Structure 1
C-alpha cells in the first residue's frame, strides 16, 4: 500500500527480516548476549502513517492479530517517536497508524520495522532533517534489530546485532513463512537457551565469547546459490524455541517433506522460514502447509530498508 506524503500525513515502510545464520555467544556483563548474525530483509512490510498530534499515540490495522501489542509508552514505535523528538527538540506529538503484515512476536522483527519506519516518517513529518546515519544511531538505542530494519538488504550484525556491516548478495531468494498462533518472548527464548546450555554443559561445546558467521553463508550469498545457502542456514536459538513450542519440529519436517530446501526457526521464533528453490516450489510448499491448517505467507529477499512512501 502507498500513500501520498502531505503536510498532515507521511507514510513510511520498513521490512521484516529473517536470520540466515544466528550464533549466540555467552552472556555479557550487561546481561545481553554477544551474537553474530546474517540478516536478510524480506518483502513483508510494516507501513506506518504518521500525522500531527498533541501527544503520542498508536493504532493498528491489517490482518495480523495485534491484541498482545501494547499501545502505551512501552510500544517500540512510540519509543522511536519520542526518542526522535527528544533528540531534535521537537515539542509536538504524533499519531501513528500502523498497517501490520509481519507476525507479532514471531522472530521476524515486526516491532523493529515499526520503529524504523516511525523514525523515517516522523523525521519527514516534523521536518527535523536528520540524515540516515544519525537515524541508524538512534535506532541502535531502541533495539538490536531496529538498525537493520532501517538499512535493509543483507547484512552482518554483531554485538547485540545492532553493529552492522553490509554483505554482498546476488540474485533473489524465495521464502515461505509458517506462522504460529502464539508468539514467543525473545528474552524468554534466550533464557531457555542459557538453561539448555547449562543443563547439557558436559555434552555440548561452550558458547563462544566472540561468535562469528560461517564463511559458507557469505559464499552462498555472494554466489546467489540457493542450495548452498540452504545447507548453511543455522540458528542457535532454534533448540530453545523447539523446547518451548515442540510442535515447531513437526512444522519444519512437513515443510521440508513438501519441497523446501531447508527450514529454520526465524530469530527467536516461533515463525518457521522455509527456503524454496523458486516461486513454483514456494507455492507447492504453501499449498501443503495450508492443507495441514498452517497459515503461511510468501516473500522474497533481499528487500529495501525503511523508506518514505510516495506516489
Structure 2
C-alpha cells in the first residue's frame, strides 16, 4: 500500500487586505479554516522522482509542467542536502483549480508531510513550516491544515484556541479566477484596509455565535472578484438568499463561495437545492475545522 496524505481545502472565513507595499505585496489578515474535503496524494517507490496528476480536475493542471507538488519535493530535497530515494507522487486532484481554496498550497503541504514520512527525515515541524513558507503566501498555513489567524504575507500564524466544527456548503460556478487579475482590479478600486485595527478573536461556543461574529468581518477582495468574474456574484447572491445560510462569503480571491449552516441537516438541504438550481455548478457539503487525519 502506498503512503498517503490528505490535502484539505482552505477556507478564508474572513480576509482583510491592505494597500500594496513598496515590493508590491499586500499585507493581509485572514482567519483560515480547513474542510474535510480536498485532494489526496500518494507516494510509491520509483526509479526516478516524478509527479503524476489524475482526477476530475487534473485537466486544469495539464499545462503546468512544474506544479507545487513538484516544487515542494525539490525544496525539501534541497533543504536536507542528502541523497534521497526516488518516489512517484500521485496527486488525485478533486478540488477545482484557481478557486480560492488554497489547493496548490495544500497539495504542497501534503507532499512535504508525506515525503518527510517516506524519507524518514527528522525535520521538526518548524523546519518543515519554513520550507512550506518558501513556496507561497498560503504555504505555511496549509501545511498542517489547522485553523489559524494568518497575518503579514501569510507567514505569521496564530493558532485558533477553539473553533467549533462548522457545517458548510462550498459552491463554485466553474470558471477559474485569476488571483493576479483580482488583485489588479482591487488595486484599481483603491479601497484598502488600514490594517491597524486588530479584531479580537472571541471563543465561539457554537456555529451560530461564530457566524454572527464573522458577519461583522468581510473579504476585501469580493468586490474586485465580482468585477473580474461575474459568476462569483451570482453564486454569492444565490447562497445569501437561501434560508439555511447563516453567512455567505467568498473564499480567498474567488471563485469558490461558502455558506455556513447551523447543522449538517441544513447543509445537506442547501447543497441539494444548489445542485438542483444550478446543475453545472461545483457543489460540496463539508465540515470546516481541522486538522483532519490523512484517512479522511
Could you state the TM-score of these two structures normalised by the residue count of structure 2? 0.90
1:36-80, Cα deviation, whole Å (9 max, x unpaired): 1111111112211122335432222333x2222157553111000
**Other-structure match for 1:86:** 78
Alpha-carbon distance in 2 for matches of 1:309, 1:40? 19
Gaps of 5+ in 1: 198-203
- Compared CA separation, residues 255 and 169, structure 1 to 2 (3 A): same
Gaps of 5+ in 2: none
Alpha-carbon distance in 1 for matches of 2:213, 2:152? 23
SS in 2 for 1:235: coil
**Other-structure match for 1:130:** 123
- Calculate the aligned-residue CA RMSD, in Å: 2.2
Alpha-carbon distance in 1 for matches of 2:199, 2:59? 38
- Compared CA separation, residues 227 and 157, structure 1 to 2 (3 A): closer
- Compared CA separation, residues 90 and 183, structure 1 to 2 (3 A): farther
1:227-247, Cα deviation, whole Å (9 max, x unpaired): 424523410011111001113
Comparing 48-57 and 284-293, the one that deviates more: 48-57
SS in 1 for 2:98: coil
Alpha-carbon distance in 1 for matches of 2:198, 2:249? 16
> Structure 1: which 4+ aligned runs deviate by more than 4 Å?
70-73, 307-310
Between the two proteins, the alignment pairs up a number of residues equal to 291
Could you state the TM-score of these two structures normalised by the residue count of structure 1? 0.86
Alignment equivalent of 1:25, drawn from 12, 18, 23: 18
- 1:275 shift after superposition: 1.0
**Other-structure match for 2:285:** 298
- Compared CA separation, residues 178 and 309, structure 1 to 2 (3 A): closer
- Compared CA separation, residues 253 and 122, structure 1 to 2 (3 A): same
**Other-structure match for 1:289:** 274
**Other-structure match for 2:259:** 274
Q: Does 1:16 align with 2:9?
A: yes
SS in 2 for 1:114: helix
